Amino acid sequence: MPHTTVSELPIGLIEGLRGGALAPYLGPGLLTLCAGTVPPADPQTLAAALTAKVSVPGKIRNRLTAAAQFIENFKHRKTLVAAMKQAYAAQAVPSPLHHWLAALSTPLIVDAWYDDTLRGALAAARSDWAEVQGLSQSGHFGTWTGWYDAQGAMSPDPLAMRTVLYKPWGGHAPAGNFLVSDSDFVEVLTEIDIQTPIPALVQRRRSELGFVFLGCRFNDQLARAFARQIMKRSKGPHFAVLSDEPARMEARFLDEQGITRVALPLATVAAALTTFPRAGAAALA
């Protein structure tokens, strides 16, 4: 693997992360940096894990949200939640990049996947953070998010926390909240354009931030819709580590959102970042 130095990364990316001006936005691809056995790290693998437990028609077996909807409709929501909990019960060992990110003074981290890896890294590093997760309307009608502290209890005062970990699709820990079926996402997407499902504290903090997308792909409409709305009214600039040539819709999304593509492998960028010293604490906006 070619060695990438800090000087080869875009100007402002490193200092923005270290100083708290850029917020990490993590996708399932970050799990590829973890050693050993990892939970499902892409929608296709997760769909296969779910349909290995419940028989699903072949035409939707590889489509995560449709397969999850079938399980919810014909085997009950509890069956779907139990299968999701089982799929993510084993926590991946956090990679050096997870630990590096967890030690940053950033006001906000977005983690758009279901695993507990970054939560584990944060818990090992410090306690001045709170987590907010998206909630399925099927089990929490009228309530869009749930707040938790480092111990997994309901967070009493997230305003005082240095870092907010925002998991818009929910997560395995601490309460098994998952947005995964068609109906889960329809409910959120109906409201997300007017920002209702996005916590007010997240909206306030993003207004002074740009985003660095790590382990994300934008070749799926859901991923683009959530990223677009979470970025809304943010300060910028934005970067996306994406080594593969983007597909047509990905390229269009990057262009329309003003996202600078970093055309390097994620592992290469991770190695460059984690060899760079961390900055001290930055003041919250």
Quick: pLDDT tens for 9-24. Answer: 888 899 999 999 999 9
Q: Average of pLDDT values for 90-117?
A: 96
Domain boundaries, the chain: 6-37+92-274, 43-87
Span 42-69, average pLDDT: 95
Predicted confidence (pLDDT) at residue 6 exceeds the cutoff of 60:
no
pLDDT at 1: 34
Does 139 have pLDDT greater than 90? no
Under a CB-based contact definition with an 8 Å cutoff, are residues 50 and 29 in contact? no
Give the confidence band of 156 by pLDDT, cuts at 50, 70, 90.
low
> At 272, which helix (H) or strand (E)?
helix 266-274
Distance, CA of 270 to CA of 54 (rounded, Å): 37
Digit-coded pLDDT (tens) for 256-278: 999 999 999 999 999 999 987 65
Q: What is the pLDDT of residues 117-132, one digit of tens each?
A: 999 999 999 999 999 9
With a cut of 50, say whether residue 283 has pLDDT above it.
no
pLDDT at 278: 58
Instruction: Please indicate whether residue 32 or residue 157 has the higher confidence score (pLDDT).
Output: 32
Tell the CATH topology of 6-37+92-274: Rossmann fold (3.40.50)
Listed in order, strand segments (DSSP E) in the chain are 22-26, 108-111, 129-134, 145-149, 163-167, 170-171, 177-178, 210-214, 238-241, 259-262
